[in-house]
Amino acid sequence: MSCAQDMTPRRCLERVSLMANERVAEGVGLAVFAAPGVARDIRSGQFVHLRIAEGASFILRRPFSVHRAAGDRIEVLYQVLGVGTRALSLAERGAEMDLIGPLGTGWSIPEGVAHALLVCGGLGAAPLGMLAEELAGRGVAVSVAQGAPTAERLVARELFSAAARRHEIATDDGSAGQRGFVTLRSEALMDADAPDVVYTCGPEPMQRIVAAQAARRGIACQVSLERLMACGVGACLSCVVSTVHGQRRACVDGPVFDAAEILWDRDESPEHEG
C-alpha cells in the first residue's frame, strides 16, 4: 500500500492476500501471502506484524517471523494458540489482511563463516527457514539440531533436510530421532562439527542452554527472542529485553541478539505450550 519504491528498505504497511493456508503439523499451519513489498525487502530473522482480523476483539497485531520468501510471496509458519492464531487457521485462500514489515534486526552472517549450526525447538524453526536456505546458497556448511514434543509436531523437516548436511532430530517421546531434549543433539553437533556460529530459536530456557553450550566452546551464538509486542516499531517499549547494554527493544534491536549480551532471568518471556 505505502511501500517506498526507492532502494533503501523501509518498513511499510502492506495489504496482503492469503494464497494458501494449510495444516502442516499437529497444531501448526503454513500461511502463504502475496506480499510483494515485504517479500522484496525481508531479511532472514526479521518479522511481520500481522493484523489478522478487524473488529473490537483484535486490538493488537500479531508478530510472526517470515519463514521463507520467494518471488512476491512470504510464508508464515504458525502455531495455533489463542484467538488470533485460531482465526488465522480458519482464514481461507483469498482472504485480505494487512501487515507491517519488514521489522526488526534479523540474523547476521559473520564474514568467513564456513560452518553454521542451527538449533531449534518447536516453532523456533520458523525464523530459521530463510536462514538455512541463505547459508546453504552461500556455500556454508549447515547442521541443524531440531526438537519437538512428538514427530507429528516437527515442522519444516524437508526444508532443513534439503539445506543441511546434517539434520538431527530429538523428540520428547522418541517418535522421531533421539528421545530427549534437542540440547543433547546441539551439544553433540558443536563437538562434532566445530561450527563457527550457532543460531538458535525456540523456548527461552532451551535457547539459554544452547547459548551456554556455545559460550563454553567459545562459539559465537545468536538467539531470537519473543516478547509481547504492541507497536512492533520501537515506540511503545512493551517488548524490552534486558541486556548488558541496558534494556533493548525486541522489535527493533532484536528479535535476534548476540547471546553474550542477554541477561537471562530478568524478564518473563511468553512461551509456546509444548
Partner 1 sequence: MSHDVDMRVRIGSLELRNPVMTASGTFGSGREYADFVDLALLGAVVTKGVGLEPWPGNPAPRIAETDSGMLNSIGLQNPGVEAFCAADLAWLRTQDVPVVVNVIGHTVAEYAAVAARLSREDGVDALEVNISCPNVDEGGMAFGTSCAAAAEVTRAVREVTTLPVIVKLSPNVGEIAPIARAVTDEGADAVSLINTLLGMAIDTRTFRTVLARGVGGLSGPAIKPVALRMVWEVASAVAVPIIGMGGIMTGEDAAEFMLAGASAVAVGTANFVDPTATTKVADGLRRFCAERGIAAVRELTGAART
Ligand X SMILES: Cc1cc2nc3c(=O)[nH]c(=O)nc-3n(C[C@H](O)[C@H](O)[C@H](O)COP(=O)(O)OP(=O)(O)OC[C@H]3O[C@@H](n4cnc5c(N)ncnc54)[C@H](O)[C@@H]3O)c2cc1C
Ligand Y SMILES: Cc1cc2nc3c(=O)[nH]c(=O)nc-3n(C[C@H](O)[C@H](O)[C@H](O)COP(=O)(O)O)c2cc1C
Return the ∠ at Cα 225 (arms to 137 and 267), rounded to 5°: 165
The grid coordinates listed for 253 are 534491536
Phi and psi at 220, nearest 5°, equal: -65, 140
**Among ligand X, ligand Y, partner 1, none, partner that 85 touches (CB below 5 to 8 angstroms by kind):** ligand X
Does the footprint of partner 1 cover residue 231 (CB under 8 A)? yes
- Tell me, residue by residue from 175 to 194, as one string, x for binding to partner 1 by CB under 8 A and - for no binding: --------------------
Binding part of the chain for ligand X, among 15-23, 76-84, 128-136, 204-212 by CB under 6 A, reads 76-84
In sequence order, which residues have a C-beta less than 8 Å from that of residue 166 and are 6 or more positions away? 143, 144, 189, 193
Q: Cell 496482503 sits at which residue?
A: 16
Of residues 82-111, which lie at the interface with partner 1 (CB under 8 A)?
100
**Among ligand X, ligand FES, ligand Y, none, partner that 18 touches (CB below 5 to 8 angstroms by kind):** none
Least distance from ligand Y to the Cβ atom of residue 248, Å = 17
Q: Which is nearer to ligand X, 5 or 57 (CB)?
A: 57
CA dihedral 76, 230, 83, 65 (to 10 degrees): 10
Can you say whether residue 13 is alpha, beta or left, with left for phi > 0 and alpha for psi between -120 and 50 degrees?
beta
Least distance from ligand X to the Cβ atom of residue 9, Å = 17
Pick from 20, 236, 244, 263 the residue near partner 1 by CB under 8 A.
236
First to last CA, the chain: 37
Pick from 236, 245, 263, 270 the residue near ligand Y by CB under 6 A.
236
Pick from 64, 107, 160, 257 the residue near ligand X by CB under 6 A.
64
Does the footprint of ligand Y cover residue 228 (CB under 6 A)? no
Q: Cell 562434532 sits at which residue?
A: 192
**Among ligand X, partner 1, ligand Y, none, partner that 57 touches (CB below 5 to 8 angstroms by kind):** partner 1
- Residue 179 has a CB neighbour count (10 Å cut-off) of 12
In sequence order, which residues have a C-beta less than 8 Å from that of residue 93 and are 6 or more positions away? 18, 19, 20, 21
Which residues of this chain interact with ligand FES, rule CB under 6 A? 229-232, 234-239, 249, 251
Does the footprint of ligand X cover residue 33 (CB under 6 A)? no
Q: Exposed, middle or buried: residue 180 (CB in 10 Å: 0-12, 13-18, 19+)?
A: middle
Chain residues in the site for partner 1 (CB under 8 A): 2, 4, 10-13, 51, 56-57, 59-61, 100, 227-228, 230-240, 247, 252, 266-270
Chain residues in the site for ligand Y (CB under 6 A): 230, 236
